[in-house]
Chains A and B, each alone.
Chain A
């Protein structure tokens, strides 16, 4: 009796979830390691990886969908919705697919895809799980949230004015922003390059052996509180900003007549390398 109640409850919940996705759509057979291309202008797009060799597309307006298969490439195009909120689109893809997603103002969520990904949006927010493959994430003004474990691939993030939150980045990471803040938690990262103009950058987490971090801001504060596997050499230089550290070391002036400070040193075996620089932002380094 209790089991039947659970079953009814589960079915009801599934039905509700299905209703939220907007009703039945289309399903096509797909290569488990093929490419899925999704194009949507506005609304929301939710992509999830599953273990079937099929792409299933559902939408709040099924008539707005156009799904085509060409070789190992499945293409999903969603025409803009008739209402102000735009079209709600849900796409299930083989987990090993590579994903090429392009939207204008749609909010994007991606989960469970482990192939390479190119995610581009103009102003929508983007929330994606990191994949163990190359990922390129680009936005103009949308906020980015990337989380999970990323290893073996190259992660490139480019944002003009949105905020970036990244959790669990490992391997090679390159993040470029202009005015948005960057919060990045590393997980045994190997090679990290960060650059922003006025946004603040907070890097924390752990570094792999022989890791390198290269960070630069113009006026944003830049903080690296990362645990190195085998220590690191560090070079921090700022023209007019402060330099802080938890090593009990004092930054030195670079010139008798002009502003400018430097802090150089080595922690542990010094296998890694951290280089930070700024015009007027405060630079902070700590290995705890």
Chain B
């Protein structure tokens, strides 16, 4: 048994019996520091790519939506838009080849749209806006139910549909040019 513990066992009758100095144990301050420090919140590891992809896709849909909105008002903004930001891509849902193809189609979209008749251009832009709204709706639903297989399937299919529209516009603008050249030759 140590001197200190013997002292604590014995009743103290006078002040002189109290120790003149008490040395705290070595780990006391580190323990206090741990007690009073604010709790560190650990980030939950991301088991699913959906939240990041969701945010990226929402941002992409927003940018595209703003652009389409501007495009649908040709009187205010008659010039076709600059190239969309290729970083805003649904990389979580498409394979690398599709992502590259989509970036190329988006890059070529303004020029392709410029070749379409004005009424078709307006309808195509309205359809792309519809697809973007739909993507936003699906992504919002996925935010509530990330593991829903139906929503995942709809999202992939709607991206595929967007690709179909973009490639149709591209093909059509090229074939229009070809049609006009062939008819004039």
Contacts and interface: CB of A to CB of B under 8 A. Distances in A.
Interface string A171-183: 0000010110000
B157 A216 contact: yes
Contacts, number: 122
A234 interface: no
Given A39-B183, A77-B182, A197-B158, A140 B148 contact: no
Interface string B143-177: 01100101101100110010011001100100110
Contacts of A122: 116-117, 120, 172, 176
B130 A198 contact: yes
Given A277-B150, A277-B154, A141 B119 contact: yes
Interface in A161-212: 161-162, 176, 178-179, 195, 197-198
A50 interface: no
Interface residues of B, number: 38
The interface residues of chain A, by DSSP majority, are classed as: loop
Interface residues of A, number: 43
Contacts of B183: 39-41, 77-80
A105 interface: yes
The interface residues of chain B, by DSSP majority, are classed as: helix
A60 interface: no
A277 B176 contact: no
A160 B127 contact: yes
A219 B137 contact: yes
B108 to A, nearest CB: 16
B92 interface: no
B148 A258 contact: yes
Nearest to A138: B168
B100 interface: no
B157 A161 contact: no
B117 A123 contact: yes
A140 B138 CA distance: 25
B77 interface: no
A158 interface: yes
Interface centre among A41, A216, A237, A279 (most CB of B within 10 A): A279
Interface of B: 116-117, 119-120, 123-124, 126-127, 130-131, 134, 137-138, 141, 144-145, 148, 150-151, 153-154, 157-158, 161, 164-165, 168-169, 172, 175-176, 178-180, 182-185
Given A77-B183, A258-B145, 10 more contacts: A77-B185, A105-B117, A122-B176, A141-B123, A141-B124, A160-B124, A176-B164, A216-B157, A258-B148, A279-B151
25 contacts: A41-B180, A78-B183, A80-B180, A102-B178, A140-B123, A140-B172, A141-B120, A158-B164, A160-B123, A160-B124, A160-B127, A176-B164, A178-B127, A178-B161, A197-B131, A218-B154, A218-B158, A237-B150, A238-B150, A239-B150, A258-B148, A260-B145, A260-B148, A277-B153, A279-B138
